[in-house]
Amino acid sequence: MYKNKHELFEQVFQAILKSGENGVFQTEICKEFSLDSRDGSRLAGNLEKQSLVSREKILHKGRWTYKLIVKKSTIAENNRKPIQIDCVEGAPCFSCAYQQSCSSEDEASPYSPAKCVWLEEWIIADFEKAYVKNEK
């Protein structure tokens, strides 16, 4: 069985997550995890309160139940990949005194990535460093 409610909560959420955008019926979750309808409803309600799933009332096999669907933001969060920062490491933009004025959309502005000497120098230096590294 389950060590605690949190473990059950996690396993139910993972089961709903596996169903993807199609969702799963609350009654099926109750059967799969041996929950009575009251406990299943409370658990689904908690998942909904935490904005992990949405519940849609649906008539299934002649009975009213809820379809539990994982919210897209939750799917995106679970598929999140680690951020790689090495490609922007050392970029002058992060310490630039003109960062607030810099805009790629305002062509009249003297501060834009297209006109930035510091950015150009950094790109060339980074390219040369990568080129030398590949030569070895």
Domain C-terminal end among 55, 78, 101: 78
What is the rounded distance in angstroms from the CA atom of residue 53 to the CA atom of residue 75?
10
- E strands, the chain, are 24-25, 53-60, 63-70
Residue 59 domain-assigned? yes
Q: What is the pLDDT of residue 92?
A: 92
Residue 33 domain-assigned? yes
Residue 86 domain-assigned? no
Q: What is the pLDDT of residue 105?
A: 84
> Where in the sequence is the domain holding 124, given as residue range(s)?
92-135
Residue-level pLDDT, tens digit, the chain, 136 residues: 566 788 898 899 999 988 888 899 999 999 999 999 899 999 999 999 988 899 999 998 898 989 999 887 665 566 666 777 887 888 899 899 998 888 888 878 888 998 899 999 999 998 888 777 777 6
**CATH number of the domain that 16 lies in?**
1.10.10.10
Residue 22 domain-assigned? yes
Max distance between CA atoms of the chain, in angstroms, equals 71
The pTM is what? 0.52
Q: What is the pLDDT of residue 72?
A: 73
Q: How many domains does the chain have?
A: 2
Q: What is the pLDDT of residue 74?
A: 60
Residue 30 domain-assigned? yes
